[in-house]
Amino acid sequence: MLQEAALTETKTETHPVTGADLLLRALEKETVEVIFGYPGGAVLPIYDKLYHSKILHVLPRHEQGGIHAAEGYARISGKPGVVIATSGPGATNIVTGLADAMMDSLPLIVFTGQVATGVIGSDAFQEADILGITTPITKYNYQVRSIEDIPRIVKEAFYIASTGRPGPVLIDIPKDIAAGVSVQPEAEKEVNLPGYQPTLKPNYLQVRKLTEAVSRSKKPVILAGAGVLHGRASKELKEYAEQQQIPVIHTLLGLGGFPANHPLFIGMAGMHGCYAANMGLTECDLLINIGARFDDRLTGNLQHFAPHAAVAHIDIDPAEIGKNVPTSIPIVADAKEALDQLILQDGKPPAHKEWMETIMRWQEEYPYFYDKESAGLKPQKVMEMLHSKTDGNAIVVTDVGQHQMWAAQYYRFNNADKWVTSGGLGTMGFGFPASIGAQLADPEACVLAICGDGGFQMSTQELAIIQEMNLPVKIIIFNNMALGMVRQWQEIFYESRFSHSKIPVQPSFVKLAEAYGIKGYVIQSEAEAEELLDEVLHNREPVLIDFRVDPDENVYPMIAPGKGLHEMVGVKP
């Protein structure tokens, strides 16, 4: 009886249904688990409804931290990260995150408050033309003009953000729309977007063509990008590479798509990639790009890029094919679908014994190196220790700079979806908040937030989230008392004129951590590192470790801007 009464009570709605109600229902329908949001005037009607919502709400201490956290969440969970910001300054504070997510194809749903419909365009208090501002850095954006549109728009937005080539979608909601009462009954509408029909299945003829090209090839390589990860296709990539015995090179963002400990893995290519990978791209006769976009930090000078290769390019975004590199075998498809088809072909593997030997020789002769005898604490050594002490199974989230490149080089990823970094935009301040999102997406995982002393100071305020939620993120600062990557460029290209790149005056990061109730340590030597890492990496508590690494260390090998991949410097000690 009691149950029945409760049922009828929820059925008959006594309260009028507002725009904010419709919004939260739509989010529940999309099974949203967490929202990264920051309140303010224009979103108060939404926040009032969130008061009773079951969805977890995380309050960053700056909207930019919130959107970066949502990016980390999206990268690890594969689900869109959801963000709410108020109008005006709240909305403009998320611009960097949108640009970052757009560049790295991360699905986000971002709600911004807007001034009431009647005053839009009048420079009202906290009004910003966020549609105009974000048009070039969103996959799509909406302004809600009528309350009844909310369910459809939210549904479309999730569809757009998470299908095809993923990306951020922004929904701008005027305050009166969120607060207003819906008069029509909620109608379920199918997504109808005639202009948006991503191609998933590969063209059969092109698949045949590639299969034949592989059989004929003497020097094939696969270049695997983040498309393999977004397409959840790492299993298929491994199967295909093994079937055809094709060696695999990764882009920065693709790391983990193919196991680093696999005999067919060559390494990461690009500006700070390994010798064998960059030479592999230069010397190959068949280059199979799967889900990479031939970014300039990968290709170096295009004139010297893969000069002898026939290029095949598998990408879900047709506009990427042929954008930077002429392509003879274009395959517009989802990575998984394309690889499935290629595996089915079961073509004759190439006869490429010599090529494999050449690659092996490059790998043996030109591995990554650093001075292992040096007295100081070498950042590369720390990275190797982090790898071994986590069995290569941690989720590694980085900021931008030297430490990011060392993580890419020395934390050898054997599994997919363990790597979060800002590649396309190179956003300092990204790493630490992104690690928070990554931890929320995988609460059991050991998450390493690897930051430089510079970039960490762009988002220290998010220590508050760690404190509040007691998230066991391990904050690892590679402290070289400098904006290291800038210092390196000034050393190499500007005759060591270190203009504003050294930061000898620093806060005590340990005390900063302690201010938020987080344990902090300074580590100066390998021996100290050994001991501490054993202790802190395996417990469920947050920690901040300030590693005082060698301030003069540079990232090598390196390709100077404008040079070709074969013109690496610093390939040998």
Partner 1 sequence: MKRVICLTVMNRPGVLNRITNLFSKRNFNIESISVGLSEHEGMSRITCVVHVEDSSASEQITKQLNKQIDVIKVTDITDQSIVARELALIKVQAVPYTRNEIYSLIEPFRASVIDVSKDSMTVQITGESDKVEAFIELIKPYGIKELARTGTTAFPRGTQRTSQQSKSYSIV
Among residues 305 and 406, whose Cβ is nearest to ligand TPP? 406
Q: Residue 332: in which H helix or E strand, if any?
A: strand 329-332
For partner 1, the closer of residues 116 and 481 by Cβ is 116
Which DSSP string do the residues of 6-32 spell out, in sequence order? HHHHHHS--SPPBHHHHHHHHHHHTT-
Range in contact with ligand TPP (rule: CB under 6 A) among 141-149, 325-333, 484-492, 561-569: 484-492
Tell me the closest approach of the beta carbon of residue 402 to ligand TPP, in angstroms.
4
Catalytically active residues are: 63, 125-126, 175, 485
How far is 520 from 508, CA to CA, in rounded Å? 10
Supply 247's token pair. 């060696």
**Rounded to the nearest whole angstrom, what is the least distance from the CB of residue 323 to partner 1 in the complex?**
6
Least spacing, CB of residue 437 vs ligand TPP, in Å: 18
User: In the complex, what is the shortest distance from the CB of residue 302 to partner 1, in angstroms, rounded to a whole number?
Assistant: 12
519: left (phi over 0), alpha (psi -120 to 50) or beta: beta
Q: Answer whether 45's CB lies under 8 Å from 144's CB.
A: no
Choice between 205 and 319, CB closer to partner 1: 319
| Secondary structure of 440-475 as H, E, C letters | HHCCCCCEEEEEEHHHHCCCHHHHHHHHHHCCCCEE
Q: How many residues bind ligand TPP (CB under 6 A)?
A: 20
Check binding of 426 to ligand TPP (CB under 6 A). Answer: yes
**Cα separation, 282 vs 251, whole angstroms:** 15
408 binds ligand TPP (CB under 6 A): no
CB of 466: closest distance to ligand TPP in angstroms? 19
Chain centroid to Cα 319, Å, comes to 21
Looking at the Cβ atoms of 128 and 428, the one nearer to ligand TPP is: 428
The one among 244, 282, 363, 427 contacting ligand TPP by CB under 6 A: 427
DSSP structure string for 35-73: EEE---GGGHHHHHHHTT-SSEEE--SSHHHHHHHHHHH
Binding of residue 79 to ligand TPP (CB under 6 A): no
E strands of 195-259, at which residues? 220-224, 248-250
Q: Taking the complex as a whole, how short is the minimal distance between the CB of residue 191 and partner 1, in angstroms?
A: 11
172 binds ligand TPP (CB under 6 A): no
Identify what 482 binds: partner 1, ligand TPP, none; CB under 5 to 8 Å per kind: ligand TPP
The footprint of ligand TPP on residues 386-405 (CB under 6 A) is 399-403
Residue 483 binds what, of partner 1, ligand TPP, none (CB under 5 to 8 Å, by partner type)? ligand TPP
User: For residues 101 and 433, is the Cβ–Cβ distance under 8 A?
Assistant: no
Region from 65-73, 298-306, 413-421, 475-483 binding ligand TPP, contact rule CB under 6 A? 475-483
Asked if 452 interacts with ligand TPP (CB under 6 A), we say yes
By beta-carbon proximity to partner 1, the closer residue of 425 and 475 is 425
Beta bridge partners of 419: 396
Which lies closer to partner 1 via its Cβ, residue 134 or residue 217? Answer: 134
Q: Residue 32 Cβ, how far from partner 1 at the closest point, in Å?
A: 22
Distances in Å between the Cα of 67 and the Cα atoms of 92, 109, 457, 533 are 12, 10, 17, 30
Helix (H/G/I), strand (E/B), else coil: 523? strand
Among 102, 260, 485, 518, binds ligand TPP (CB under 6 A): 485
Query: Which residue's CB is nearer to partner 1, number 139 or number 336?
Result: 139
Q: Cα-Cα-Cα-Cα dihedral of 179, 184, 185, 186, to 10°? A: -60
Residue 141 interacting entry, from ligand TPP, partner 1, none, C-beta within 5 to 8 Å by type: partner 1
Q: Give the Cα-Cα-Cα angle 252, 167, 90 (nearest 5 degrees).
A: 105
Q: Which residues bind to partner 1, rule: CB under 8 A?
A: 131-132, 135-136, 139-141, 143, 145, 160, 193-196, 317-319, 322-323, 326
Q: Supply φ then ψ for residue 502, to 5 degrees.
A: -100, 135
Gyration radius of the chain's alpha carbons? 25
Tell the smallest beta-carbon distance from residue 102 to partner 1 (Å). Answer: 11
Residue 292, C-beta contacts closer than 8 angstroms, at least 6 positions apart: 223, 224, 225, 226, 227, 251, 254, 298
Contact segment (CB under 6 A) with ligand TPP among 19-27, 389-397, 409-417, 479-487 equals 479-487
Can you give the binding site for ligand TPP, defined by CB under 6 A?
399-403, 426-429, 452-455, 478, 480, 482-486
